[in-house]
Amino acid sequence: MLETLRRIVQEVNEARDLDQALQIIVQSVKQVMKTDVCSVYLTDFSNHDRVLMATDGLNPKSVGRVRLKQNEGVTSVVCERAEPLNLEDAPSHPKYKYLPETEEEDFHAFLGVPIIHHRKTLGVLVVQQLQKRSFDDNEVTLLMTIAAQLAGAIAHAEASGGIDGLRQSSDKRLMHRDRPFRGLPGAPGVAKGLSRVLYPSADLDAVPNRHTENTEKEKLAFLNAVEATRKDINVLKLRVAQLPEEDRALFDAYLLILESDSLIKKTLSKIDTGLWASTALRDVVQEQVKVFAAMEDEYLSERSQDIKDLGRRILVHLQSKQDGVRSYEDNTVLVGDELAASDLVEVPPDKLVAVVCTQGSGSSHVAILARALGVPAVMGAQDLPTSKVDALNIIVDGYQGCIYINPSETVHKEYERLINEEAELSAGLETLKGKPAETPDGVRVPLYVNSGLLADISTSLESGAEGIGLYRTEFPFMIRDQFPGEDEQAQIYKQVLSTFAGKPVILRTLDVGGDKNLSYFPIKEDNPFLGWRGIRISLDHPDIFTTQLRAMLRASAGQDNLHILFPMITSIDEVKEAVNLVNRAREELLDEGKVDIHMPRIGAMIEVPSAVYEAESIAKRVDFLSIGTNDLVQYLLAVDRNNSQVADLYDCLHPAVIRAVLQVMQAASKQQIPVSVCGEMAGDPAAALLLLGMGLNSLSMSTIALPRIKWVIRSFTQQRAKELLEQALQLEGAKEIRHLLNREIDNAGLGGLLRPGK
Ligand code: PEP
Ligand code: MG
């Protein structure tokens, strides 16, 4: 049964459009459940009617015509209660509504289950039978399982419906689609551009729809890839020469397929229609795989795997010629399922205008990097069919977390207006640049920036930042293909320290693991956020750690602004060990005759619940604390910062987070050391108001957030912020707290600042 379910879900996911997806569902479910009828009703959310969208068993002409009002018919009971309804004789139910178009008068037994996706009832999956009978428990749970599995696929098909029609392959005439794809706000801002889909290599299913002007070049590339694959297979065949004839036959079969019209000619003729070689190959292989997989004969059906394998091998050769020379159009919107921070850095900064990712959330490192680069981002746009949206016009709204593919002139104009408004707001904020971040009652709250790239260092300085509150040293590690050496690191750090000479610069030691991986230092774990991460790796690898510490210290020679920060501290022992290694690295350098090296100020990140409870003991051993709310929220609330499914639960204004920050603040002031917030919470205007009330010594955020937060600091007295903090502590939920703070900001006439928040 599991296998059947898996097959249905896969077929539904591969369906061309919603109609085809629903047709596959009703036919397969009717067969699996052995019923006389299976139908799907979907809710039309514009008026809450339920529309019969597909049926196998009722009159097919009634599809699309039968509409039930919100509380009509037995399906309304299923929707209203959001639970299954099992009726021995549906016509005798008081809510039953006879629908003549369906010709369903003969059916008595009825079982309907809701199709629910993210708490929303999308519709009802119904099976019916001629005779009067009650469906047994097994049947009910089976239909519920099917509906639960299909809900995501239906939502996906519904959301992506119509994308295929946006481009007619040969003439590339474009049609418009004004329904946005929804995701999560990743980085604020709005941008228009041309989508560029990045996809994993050697994966045929991930190849996007892409077109070519030069079909001859593509055909040649394809034929060369086939030839290279043929050579590979011959080599493999020779390697297994000692095997019996029977086992070697597989390779002959491969060679035959490689010569067959079904693969070669079909691919070539698809390229002739204007398709890119990889896209044409993907389509032909997928068609062939389907044909073989559907064959009754087990031997023949197994051949589908051979075709897939061959397709992948040809693709690898095609890609080996394409990659390496990735060039990007002006106004590139980078789109992908799983983009890595390094993908963003690879696009020249003047060409990248926005980022869209179907996975992750606003707290993922890709989103953080987008904010650092000042480009809007939408994360977790789960329903966006990435393979179908390459090279299309796209508008990315990083405030709302939505994307428009090929929108009409009307939507364009609306966004044009928003972009202009945005420019006005920025111009208004620009005037604050030279002014201090000081409240009307005279409290100074220095604002620092978070950085990690050399490219954004001068922008950071120009933004009016008073220092670097968090330099994520892992970013330079991520964009290389081996560990950078001591000299190379020292040069990078020196540039950062000297650009901000006279101002504090906090260099955080390597924080890899979790969702930040180094291609040359792979870590495979089931639960990476609870695994080998941050300081744990550094302490386990004194070679890597000491090289980094030495590079930092050397870079600071002659300057007095270096601060070193340890990530992911969970115990006092880790602090002691790390501090010892800093001391040792400095002594080594002094012994080597490098004299002008001051002892840096040392800090610990508080981003794990255990560190909140240990904050006072930690504070005794360091010079400052920095609260990493991105991780603190995820560990305190048990919400994966990258999981768009639970992103609604991820909120830095959760009362538990506020209390934790307050507790750290109190521990630090007892030990008389400064404490800062360097997580994204600091750049959220509503949260910044609370942090002001708590008396944080400084805040560190992305350059893009800095002017807005300065506006907040300059607009509210600390006294008022303290009162608001008191009120917030009386409230029980993040929503109420946000409402309280947003209202205050709005009343102060700063409503425009709220866009980037939730
Ligand atoms: C944090 O966790 O809040 C933080 C600043 O570090 P990162 O986002 O790099 O994990
Ligand atoms: Mg962190």
Q: What is the pLDDT of residues 319-365, one digit of tens each?
A: 887 654 468 889 999 999 988 777 887 888 889 999 999 998 888 88
Question: Which ligand 1 atom is at minimum distance from the Cα of 365?
Answer: 8
Mean pLDDT of 718-727: 98
Distance CA 461, CA 64 (A): 60
The best mutation among 363, 641, 678 to test binding of ligand 1, ranked by most ligand atoms within 8 Å of the C-beta, falls on 678
Band of pLDDT at residue 245, cut at 50, 70 and 90: confident
Query: What average pLDDT is seen over the chain?
Result: 89
Which residue's CA is minimally distant from atom 7 of ligand 1?
A: 630
Question: Which ligand 1 atom is at minimum distance from the Cα of 607?
Answer: 2
Cβ–Cβ contacts within 10 Å for residue 282, how many?
25
Cα 348 to averaged position of ligand 1 atoms, centre (Å):
25
The separation between CA 306 and the C-alpha centre of its own chain, rounded to angstroms, equals: 33
Burial classification of residue 113, based on how many CB atoms lie within 10 Å of its CB (0-12 exposed, 13-18 middle, 19 or more buried): buried
**Statement: residue 734 has pLDDT above 90:** yes
Q: What is the pLDDT of residue 757?
A: 38
Rg (alpha carbons) of the chain, rounded to whole number: 30
- In the chain, CATH 1.10.274.10 sits at 204-322
Strands 402-405 vs 332-336: parallel, antiparallel or unpaired = unpaired
Q: Which of 129-138, 254-263, 517-526, 629-638 has the lowest average pLDDT? A: 254-263
Band of pLDDT at residue 154, cut at 50, 70 and 90: confident
Distance CA 169, CA 708 (A): 45
Which bin fits 194, alpha (ψ -120 to 50), beta or left (φ > 0)?
beta
Question: Which ligand 1 atom is at minimum distance from the Cα of 634?
Answer: 2
Mean pLDDT of 393-407: 91
**Statement: residue 567 has pLDDT above 60:** yes
Question: Which ligand 1 atom is at minimum distance from the Cα of 514?
Answer: 10
Which residue's CA is minimally distant from atom 4 of ligand 1?
A: 628
Q: CB within 6 Å of ligand 1 — which residues?
A: 368, 470, 472, 511, 607, 628-631, 678-679
Q: What is the pLDDT of residue 251?
A: 78
The best mutation among 364, 366, 368 to test binding of ligand 1, ranked by most ligand atoms within 8 Å of the C-beta, falls on 368
**Statement: residue 309 has pLDDT above 80:** yes
Protein fold of 172-201+327-425: Glucose Oxidase; domain 1 (3.50.30)
Task: Read off the DSSP letter of residue 510.
Answer: P
Question: Which ligand 1 atom is at minimum distance from the Cα of 474?
Answer: 9
Cα 472 to averaged position of ligand 1 atoms, centre (Å):
9
Q: Please state the pTM of the whole predicted model.
A: 0.79
Q: What is the pLDDT of residue 175?
A: 54
Strands 675-677 vs 698-701: parallel, antiparallel or unpaired = parallel
Ligand that lies nearest to the alpha carbon of residue 642, given by its number in the listed order: 1
Q: What is the pLDDT of residue 636?
A: 98
CA dihedral 677, 678, 680, 685 (to 10 degrees): 50
Cα 520 to averaged position of ligand 1 atoms, centre (Å):
22
Residues in the chain: 758
Amino acid in the structure at residue 220 = L
Q: What is the pLDDT of residue 726?
A: 98
Tell me the three state secondary structure of residue 46.
coil
Catalytic (active site) residue 598: no
Residue 45 contacts by C-beta under 8 Å, 6 or more apart in sequence?
Answer: none
By percentage, how much of the chain surpasses pLDDT 90? Answer: 58
Band of pLDDT at residue 170, cut at 50, 70 and 90: very low
Q: What is the pLDDT of residue 458?
A: 77
Q: What is the pLDDT of residue 502?
A: 95
Higher pLDDT, 332 or 372: 332
Cα 365 to averaged position of ligand 1 atoms, centre (Å):
8
By percentage, how much of the chain surpasses pLDDT 70? Answer: 94
Ligand that lies nearest to the alpha carbon of residue 700, given by its number in the listed order: 1
Distance CA 80, CA 95 (A): 12
Task: Out of 108, 117, 317, 365, pick the active-site residue.
Answer: 365
Interior CA angle at 544 toward 454 and 523, to 5°?
A: 90
The best mutation among 450, 472, 606, 633 to test binding of ligand 1, ranked by most ligand atoms within 8 Å of the C-beta, falls on 472
Which bin fits 266, alpha (ψ -120 to 50), beta or left (φ > 0)?
alpha
Distance CA 491, CA 499 (A): 12
**Statement: residue 755 has pLDDT above 70:** no
Q: What is the pLDDT of residue 645?
A: 86
Strands 402-405 vs 393-397: parallel, antiparallel or unpaired = antiparallel
Q: What is the pLDDT of residue 6?
A: 78
**Statement: residue 460 has pLDDT above 90:** no
Ligand that lies nearest to the alpha carbon of residue 683, given by its number in the listed order: 1
Which residue's CA is minimally distant from atom 9 of ligand 1?
A: 472
Cα 245 to averaged position of ligand 2 atoms, centre (Å):
58
Nearest CA to 606 among 730, 445, 449, 470?
Answer: 470
- In the chain, CATH 3.30.450.40 sits at 2-168
Distance CA 98, CA 108 (A): 12
Out of 1.10.3720.10, 3.40.50.300, 3.30.450.40, 3.40.30.10, select the CATH number for domain 2-168. Answer: 3.30.450.40
Interior CA angle at 201 toward 510 and 485, to 5°?
A: 25
Mean pLDDT of 160-170: 52
Amino acid in the structure at residue 460 = S
Task: Out of 38, 79, 652, 678, pick the active-site residue.
Answer: 678
The best mutation among 475, 477, 511 to test binding of ligand 1, ranked by most ligand atoms within 8 Å of the C-beta, falls on 511
Q: Which of 129-133, 146-150, 218-222, 623-627 has the highest mean pLDDT?
A: 623-627
Q: Which of 9-13, 39-43, 97-101 has the lowest average pLDDT? A: 9-13
Q: What is the pLDDT of residue 480?
A: 80
**φ and ψ of 366, to 5 deg:** -65, -40
Sheet containing strand 184-187, edge to edge, reads 181-182, 402-405, 393-397, 190-198, 332-336, 352-357, 377-379, 184-187
**Statement: residue 459 has pLDDT above 90:** no
Task: Read off the DSSP letter of residue 429.
Answer: H
Band of pLDDT at residue 581, cut at 50, 70 and 90: very high
**Statement: residue 370 has pLDDT above 60:** yes
Residue 487 contacts by C-beta under 8 Å, 6 or more apart in sequence?
Answer: 551
**Statement: residue 545 has pLDDT above 90:** yes
Q: What is the pLDDT of residue 36?
A: 95
Mean pLDDT of 129-155: 90
Distance CA 382, CA 25 (A): 21
Cα 429 to averaged position of ligand 1 atoms, centre (Å):
26
Q: What is the pLDDT of residue 48?
A: 85
Mean pLDDT of 137-145: 92
Band of pLDDT at residue 222, cut at 50, 70 and 90: very high
Band of pLDDT at residue 221, cut at 50, 70 and 90: very high
Mean pLDDT of 726-747: 96
Which residue's CA is minimally distant from atom 8 of ligand 1?
A: 630
Q: What is the pLDDT of residue 169?
A: 38
Q: What is the pLDDT of residue 607?
A: 98
Which residue's CA is minimally distant from atom 1 of ligand 1?
A: 628
Q: Which of 343-352, 454-463, 507-516 has the lowest average pLDDT? A: 454-463
**Statement: residue 230 has pLDDT above 50:** yes
Which residue's CA is minimally distant from atom 3 of ligand 1?
A: 628
Ligand that lies nearest to the alpha carbon of residue 629, given by its number in the listed order: 1
Q: Which of 203-212, 363-372, 410-419, 579-588 has the highest mean pLDDT?
A: 579-588
Q: What is the pLDDT of residue 758?
A: 35
**Statement: residue 149 has pLDDT above 70:** yes
Ligand that lies nearest to the alpha carbon of residue 510, given by its number in the listed order: 1
Cα 631 to averaged position of ligand 2 atoms, centre (Å):
5
Catalytic (active site) residue 365: yes
Question: Which ligand 1 atom is at minimum distance from the Cα of 626?
Answer: 5
**Statement: residue 298 has pLDDT above 90:** no
Question: Which ligand 1 atom is at minimum distance from the Cα of 511?
Answer: 9
Tokens 């010594």 -> residue: 697
Q: What is the pLDDT of residue 161?
A: 62
Q: Which of 234-238, 386-390, 488-492 has the lowest average pLDDT? A: 234-238
Cα 724 to averaged position of ligand 2 atoms, centre (Å):
28
Q: Which of 105-114, 283-292, 430-439 has the lowest average pLDDT? A: 283-292
- What superfamily would CATH give domain 204-322? PtsI, HPr-binding domain (1.10.274.10)
- In the chain, CATH 3.20.20.60 sits at 439-754
Residue 197 contacts by C-beta under 8 Å, 6 or more apart in sequence?
Answer: 208, 210, 335, 336, 386, 387, 389, 390
Cα 614 to averaged position of ligand 2 atoms, centre (Å):
17
Beta bridge mates, 451? 471
Mean pLDDT of 673-679: 97
Ligand that lies nearest to the alpha carbon of residue 632, given by its number in the listed order: 1
- Give domain 439-754's CATH architecture: Alpha-Beta Barrel (3.20)
Distance CA 135, CA 148 (A): 18
Cα 630 to averaged position of ligand 1 atoms, centre (Å):
5
Cα 580 to averaged position of ligand 1 atoms, centre (Å):
24
Question: Which ligand 1 atom is at minimum distance from the Cα of 630?
Answer: 3
Higher pLDDT, 278 or 240: 278
- 140-149 residues labelled b (16+ CB within 10 A) or e (exposed): bebbbebbee
The best mutation among 631, 635, 640, 641 to test binding of ligand 1, ranked by most ligand atoms within 8 Å of the C-beta, falls on 631
Distance CA 523, CA 514 (A): 9
